[in-house]
Structure 1
């Protein structure tokens, strides 16, 4: 396995990475696509959340996406149904 993988990396002119790194990348991309922890567990063949979380990594882009969605929710919340405090202020 190692000889085949090392040769494939050389032939493709790619940096040295471990074959297992593909699991980390795949799970991170799957989580970024919005998969739930249960979906990640099924895709990776894990029976508990601890094992699945080992392969899940946060990315800067995903953090920005979450922040954008939270901002949109916060901005829209005041437009729909103001709280009692907001109604009392005017």
Structure 2
């Protein structure tokens, strides 16, 4: 499996030489030593935080089952506030309410 287009001296980067090449990269940039899997985890956690669906995460990671992809959905827990705010906007638009923070509670309001 090819991880990157090119390795050292113009050779194709493969699993067999990836670790050696990768180990030098953070040191050259002044970054702390990190594992390539840390980058994969960070990337997929950020994708989940954008609202990516489980299927989209599975596709990004190349997984055929949901088990591994659900690991990254822990970031979605932080989206509860954003989801609630977006739902609030949909309800306000449906009711024709103004967009302000002084809206009365919707108790007893009929939604068509």
TM-score (norm 1): 0.67
Q: Does 1:79 align with 2:95?
A: yes
Residue 21 to residue 31, structure 1, CA distance change in 2 (3 Å): same
| Alignment-derived partner of residue 8 in structure 1 | 25
With 28-37 and 39-48 compared, the bigger mean Cα shift is at 28-37
Aligned residues: 84
- Give runs of aligned pairs for residues 42-53 of structure 1, distance below 5 A: 42-53=59-70
Query: Runs in 1 of length 4+ with deviation above 3 angstroms?
Result: 59-64
Name the structure with the higher strand share: 2
Give the direction of change, closer, same or farther, for the CA distance of 1:68–1:43 in structure 2 (3 Å limit).
Answer: same
Q: CA deviation at 1:18?
A: 1.1
Larger relative contact order (Cα-Cα within 8 Å, sequence gap ≥ 6): 1
The structure with the greater share of residues assigned to helix is 1
Farther-moved stretch of structure 1 (16-25 vs 55-64) = 55-64
Q: Distance in 1 between matches of 2:66 and 2:81?
A: 25
Q: 1:29 aligns with which of 31, 37, 46?
A: 46
Q: Higher Cα Rg: structure 1 or 2?
A: 2
Change (3 A) 1:60 1:15: farther
Unaligned runs of 5+ in 1: none
Q: CA RMSD in A?
A: 3.1
Q: What TM-score, normalized to structure 2? A: 0.56
- The alpha carbon displacement at 1:24 in A equals 1.1
